Structure 1
Amino acid sequence: MRVIAWLVEGTWPACVDAVRTHAPEDSEVVLLHVSGPDVPGLAHGAFAGLLGRGGGPARDPGTRLEDLGSTSAAQLLDAAAERLGRPCERLERAGRVEREVVAAAGDADLLVLARDGDRARLGPHSLGPAVRFAVDHAPCPVLLVWPEAAPGIATLPPPPTPHH
């Protein structure tokens, strides 16, 4: 069984714990982190907009942000592997986050991911756009976890009222 755990800053421990609980011990576990192109790209663009007044390519903040991003991704994957406590593959990808996750799940038997939206109440708003895309397009079964204790049933919205 190949299990992909999509790890995101802030919610990754719940995904690792779900793998520990639900994936058979002999599973091939892949810890996945995807870096979006947004922040470094914006910094590169802002720097380029200075029309050369910024001091040359060596001072481009986008490059520094790319370096910081890869360092933090590696640290997150290291921490996750330690928490998992069993052999695993660490996979870093970059690009459109939701599409990279779906592509990585192409040969998986299970995709584990965490809710990233409104976690104060039950319902569809507990999924942000990237997680919603991954849930809707994953080519394998999905285990969707709450990063902390799930809200109570009382947070369920009332049923729709019938129209006469």
Structure 2
Amino acid sequence: MAVVVWITEGTWPACVDAVRTHAPAGGEVVLLHVSGDDVPGVAHGAFAGLLGRGRPERDPGTRLEGLATTSGRQLLAAAADRLGRTCTCLERTGRVEREVVAAAEGADLLVLARDGDRTHLGPRSLGPAGRFVVDHAPCPVLLVWPEPAPGVGTIPPGPPRPPLHR
């Protein structure tokens, strides 16, 4: 069984614990971290358009790319440590949600955590990236709560029902 685990800041321990609980011991595990290219891209553009003046070594986008890579590697190392078994660590850069879906191609399972409002049960517990991944994943998805799930009393009320006619 090939399992891809989306590692993100703040939610990765729950994803790793879910793999330890639900994935067969002999299966292949890929820990995936994706660094978005939007923030460094904006910094590159601002520098080139406003501040550039021919000094590429001062481009803040390059520094941001380096910080994202370092942070991603640290998260992957911590996740591999917590997993405690052989795994592959994969770092990608790009549109986060699309990179996760692409990395899950051919996998038997994709594990990710809720990334939205985690104070209530319901669709808003998934942020835009998580919703995109769940909707477009090319394999089964295991969606975990990063902390204990809220009670069923937090389910938003449904739409009003029309009166019954006899």
Q: What TM-score range do you get, normalising by the shorter chain?
A: over 0.9
Opposite residue 69 of structure 1, the aligned amino acid is A
Task: State the distance in 2 between where 1:16 and 1:75 align.
Answer: 15
Equivalent-residue separation in structure 2 for 1:51 and 1:99 (angstroms): 31
Match of 2:139 in 1: 140
- Could you say what the CA RMSD is over the residues aligned between the two structures, in angstroms? 1.2
How many residues are treated as equivalent by the alignment? 163
Matches within 5 A, 1:4-83: 4-53=4-53, 56-83=55-82
Other-structure match for 2:154: 155
Q: Partners in 2 of 1:73 and 1:43 — Cα distance?
A: 19
Distance 1:38 1:63 in 2: 12
Give the structure-1-normalised TM-score: 0.96
CA distance in 2, matches of 1:79, 1:134: 23
* Superposition misfits of 4+ residues, deviation over 6 angstroms: none
CA deviation after TM superposition for structure 1 residue 51, in Å: 4.7
Structure 1 position 90 matched with structure 2 position 89:
yes
Aligned equivalents of 1:52, 1:138: Cα separation in 2 = 40
The amino acid of 2:131's aligned partner reads R
Distance 2:35 2:72 in 1: 8
Residue ranges of structure 2 left out of the alignment (5+ in a row): none
Alignment check: 8 A CA contact 2:107 2:139 kept: yes
TM-score by length of 2: 0.95
Q: Distance in 2 between matches of 1:143 and 1:41?
A: 32
| Separation in structure 2 between the aligned mates of residue 71 and residue 115 of structure 1, nearest angstrom | 24
- In structure 1, C-alpha distance between the alignment counterparts of 2:94 and 2:86, rounded to whole Å: 26
Q: Distance in 2 between matches of 1:19 and 1:42?
A: 35
Q: Residue in 1 aligned with 2:123?
A: 124
List gaps (5 residues or longer) in structure 1: none
How far did 1:157 drift?
1.4
